[in-house]
């Protein structure tokens, strides 16, 4: 268990949840300490007006820290919305897919599948490439992407939480086609060149904070496409013009996201978190690779997710035993998603190395007992 001098009394679980997921302990401690009295104001952040100076500062600092982490230029807007990636699946084509055009989607797993299904309710969608034939065990190489040079945008899911595959680097769209990314489950897990993107969206509940706030980063020129008379809550342009304060945003969730961003800067930013995430993922994949086939990773090595390690055991009975025994030993959330089965270890930014070391040790012992 991780513990610090100030937290001797709090025994923390080894939390491998796929989302909502583990949070940085220093962030939780700060939320706790300020819960009834933020900065001597005699109020919790959740009791403050979203139009107060205090909350405005919280919002501005969160945006500013995000811009620092991503080296994001002023030509992009940062929006804090609601409804998770699921609502973005609809908002994206409502805002950026004109009736006269078609959008390209790369199908690499369960989440891009849902993104496509929802977009098809709104407009014309073309599946540019699909890895469903190999049960979503990899992402396509750039050479295998026959892209539409006239597409309204090219959409990809940078990390497939359920299948455990991740793009090692973003696909390259044809010239002039904006790149759109659902980065819900690997945002801020490594450095990216944000200027390659037209729009990035992410539900907060993996790497950013609590469920209930959704981050959207959008290049400002794309806002000119937004049609008139969209419902206000579904209108990127209106939200950008109002700095996410057109109506009451999820203030407390945004405050916590702000603390997570501040924590990330404090530990050394995206370069350092990428190093840590790489080390954690290597521990689990090395265990799989050295198991002589007892553990079988789902993803092809070239497409392995550093965030969600998906693997199988020889037989479902053994998988059930693995889940049961791991829970008895204090590991949370290792059961695979109900739609694909098997095991899944989610290793998000806030998961301490110690938890992953404990898991690798548990995997070795489990194999010794059952191999």
102 binds a copy of itself (CB under 8 A): no
Contact call for residues 13 and 2 (beta carbons, < 8 A):
no
Pick the stretch among 70-78, 133-141, 145-153, 211-219 that binds a copy of itself (CB under 8 A).
211-219
Q: What angle do CA 254, 352, 289 make, to 5 degrees?
A: 125
35 binds a copy of itself (CB under 8 A): yes
Q: Strand, helix or coil at 59?
A: helix
46 binds a copy of itself (CB under 8 A): yes
Instruction: Out of 61, 87, 102, 325, name the contact with a copy of itself by CB under 8 A.
Output: 87
Active-site residue list? 111, 182, 206
Contact call for residues 79 and 218 (beta carbons, < 8 A):
yes
Rounded to a whole number of angstroms, the minimum distance from the CB of residue 333 to a copy of itself is: 6
Q: Which helix (H) or strand (E) holds 270?
A: helix 269-289
Instruction: Out of 28, 127, 279, 318, name the contact with a copy of itself by CB under 8 A.
Output: 28
- State the distance between the two ends of the chain, measured CA to CA, in whole angstroms: 27
Distance, CA of 318 to CA of 296 (rounded, Å): 13
Cβ neighbours of residue 48 closer than 8 Å, sequence gap 6 or more: 38, 41, 54, 55, 251
x/- contact string, 309-338, with a copy of itself (CB under 8 A)? ---------------------x-xx-----
Rounded to a whole number of angstroms, the minimum distance from the CB of residue 341 to a copy of itself is: 15
Instruction: Out of 41, 275, 296, 320, name the contact with a copy of itself by CB under 8 A.
Output: 41
Chain mean position to CA 269: 16
Contact call for residues 37 and 43 (beta carbons, < 8 A):
yes
Whichever of 269 and 330 has its CB closer to a copy of itself, that residue is 330
Residue 30 backbone phi and psi in degrees, to 5: -70, -40
Whichever of 210 and 297 has its CB closer to a copy of itself, that residue is 210
Contact call for residues 121 and 97 (beta carbons, < 8 A):
no
x/- contact string, 228-257, with a copy of itself (CB under 8 A)? -xxxxxx-----------xxxxxxxx--x-
Pick the stretch among 3-11, 124-132, 135-143, 291-299 that binds a copy of itself (CB under 8 A).
3-11
Distance, CA of 16 to CA of 366 (rounded, Å): 17
Whichever of 147 and 204 has its CB closer to a copy of itself, that residue is 204
Distance, CA of 87 to CA of 277 (rounded, Å): 28
Q: By CB under 8 A, what part of segment 125-154 binds a copy of itself?
A: none
Kindly list the residues in this chain that would bind a copy of itself in the complex (CB under 8 A): 1, 7, 10-13, 15, 17-23, 25, 28-29, 31-32, 35-37, 41-44, 46-50, 82-84, 86-87, 89-90, 118, 121-122, 203, 205, 209-213, 229-234, 246-253, 256, 330, 332-333
């Amino acid at each position: 268990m991780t513990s610090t001098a100030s937290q001797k009394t709090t025994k923390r679980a080894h939390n491998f949840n796929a989302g909502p997921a583990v949070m940085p302990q220093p962030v939780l401690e700060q939320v706790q300490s300020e819960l009834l009295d933020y900065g001597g104001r005699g109020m919790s952040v959740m009791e403050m007006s979203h139009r107060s100076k205090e909350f405005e500062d919280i919002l501005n600092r969160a945006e500013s820290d995000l811009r620092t982490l991503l080296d994001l230029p002023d030509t992009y807007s940062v929006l804090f919305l609601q409804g998770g990636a699921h609502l973005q699946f609809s908002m994206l084509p409502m805002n950026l897919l004109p009736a006269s055009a078609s959008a390209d989607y790369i199908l690499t797993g369960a989440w891009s599948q849902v993104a496509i299904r929802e977009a098809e309710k709104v407009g014309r969608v073309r599946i540019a490439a699909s890895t469903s034939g190999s049960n979503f065990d990899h992402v396509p190489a750039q050479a295998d992407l026959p892209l539409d040079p006239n597409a309204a945008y090219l959409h990809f899911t940078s990390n497939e939480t359920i299948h455990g595959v991740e793009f090692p680097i973003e696909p390259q769209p044809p010239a002039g086609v904006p790149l759109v990314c659902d980065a819900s489950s690997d945002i801020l897990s490594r450095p990216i060149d944000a200027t390659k993107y037209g729009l990035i969206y992410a539900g907060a509940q993996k790497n950013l904070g609590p469920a209930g706030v959704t981050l959207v980063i959008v290049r400002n020129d794309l806002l000119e496409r937004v049609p008139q008379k969209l419902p206000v809550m579904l209108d990127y342009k209106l939200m950008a013009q109002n700095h996410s304060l057109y109506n009451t945003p999820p203030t407390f969730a945004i405050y916590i996201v702000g603390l997570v961003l501040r924590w990330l800067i404090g530990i050394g930013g995206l370069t350092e978190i990428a190093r840590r995430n790489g080390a954690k993922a290597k521990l689990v994949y090395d265990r799989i690779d050295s198991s002589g086939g007892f553990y079988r990773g789902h993803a092809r090595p070239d497409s392995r997710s550093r965030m969600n390690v998906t693997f199988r055991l020889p037989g479902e009975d053994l998988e059930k035993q693995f889940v049961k025994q791991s829970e008895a030993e204090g590991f949370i959330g290792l059961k695979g998603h109900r739609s694909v089965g098997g095991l899944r270890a989610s290793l998000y930014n806030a998961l301490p190395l110690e938890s992953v070391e404990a898991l690798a040790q548990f995997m070795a012992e489990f194999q010794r007992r059952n191999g």
